[in-house]
Amino acid sequence: MFAAQRNGHPATAEELAPLAFAGYAHFTAMQVRAGRVRGLDLHLERLRHASMELFGQAVPDDRVRSYLRAALRAGPADVSLTATVHSPAGEFTVTGGEPEVLVRTGPAASGPAGPLTLAAVEHERFLPAVKHVGEVAKTYVLRQAAGQGFDDAAFVDRRGRLSEGTIWNLAFWDGTAVVWPVAEMLTGTTMAVVRRQLDRLGVPQRAQEITLDDLPALAGAVVMNSWTPGVPVHRIGSVPLPQAEPFVRLLHRAYEAESPTAP
């Protein structure tokens, strides 16, 4: 029912085995509904940028799209899809060959309902603008937060700024405008979709540095990723936040205004 394909063809066990230890790779994750994806252009842009950063070359967009189509033909119309780009030369080498693409599909997902509590953890990701693999810290921090009674964690950088969650972007609400945190982070594709659709809807937005001390003045917070454009957050660290249901509905409306595209 689901696919695991290397460069557009079913992957063998021998081809997949080296990837179990591949830490030098990057990926993008998306939700496919009725064979279509919101923000497909952003996913392709992410893969191009990351490939140039890690490998100095990128798989052409039309070839990536053909690999996505091949994987989608092998399964149901609604799936979770991950496209991982890696070098056949593996890690700890000075140079590598042309990057290869592994596309995997699995059951469609929609994320937790929330509201969530997030532990505030001091952490800065390496190469934060790249969605790369092998980030043991994200799962470690998540499990540590859960052990302390939180649902997940939000990262605080060395300057005290909130940046992102373990697998989430953060967004805040001041009662009138959507507020995006300023810090080194991964710009999520759902985040980018929501921002451009909020512009088209005429909703005010701004970006600013946000610390834990700034939270009491805000009217709501959410996390978002490829699963969902908004799960309410009602506490970060020890600071409570209003659930702000109109804010959550606004983000979902903006996301749904984006027309899905077939690969």
What mean pLDDT do residues 39-53 have? 98
Q: Give the integer Cα–Cα distance in Å for 97 and 133.
A: 19
> How confident is the model at residue 61, as a pLDDT?
98
> How confident is the model at residue 1, as a pLDDT?
86
Query: Which of residues 15 and 214 earns the better pLDDT score?
Result: 214
Q: Give the integer Cα–Cα distance in Å for 110 and 252.
A: 12
Q: Is the pLDDT of residue 132 over 80?
A: yes
How many angstroms separate the first and last alpha carbons of the chain? 19
> What type of residue sits at position 48?
R
What mean pLDDT do residues 70-92 have? 92
Q: Is the pLDDT of residue 22 over 80?
A: no
Beta-sheet strands, E only, within 157-255: 162-165, 169-173, 178-181, 205-208, 220-225, 228-236, 239-240
Q: Is the pLDDT of residue 21 over 80?
A: no
Would you call the peptide bond into 115 cis, given omega within 30 degrees of 0 as the criterion?
yes
pLDDT category, 134, cuts 50, 70, 90? confident
Q: Give the integer Cα–Cα distance in Å for 233 and 222.
A: 5
What mean pLDDT do residues 84-89 have? 89
What are the φ/ψ torsions at residue 134 (nearest 5 degrees)? 75, 25
> How confident is the model at residue 97, as a pLDDT?
80
> How confident is the model at residue 33, as a pLDDT?
98
Model confidence over 221-231: pLDDT tens digits?
999 999 999 99
What are the φ/ψ torsions at residue 34 (nearest 5 degrees)? 55, 35
CB atoms within 10 A of CB 177: 14
**How far apart, in Å, are the Cα atoms of 27 and each of 21, 102, 197, 215?**
15, 9, 24, 32
pLDDT category, 243, cuts 50, 70, 90? confident
**How confident is the prediction for the chain on average, in pLDDT?**
95
Sign of the four-CA dihedral 253, 115, 207, 191: negative
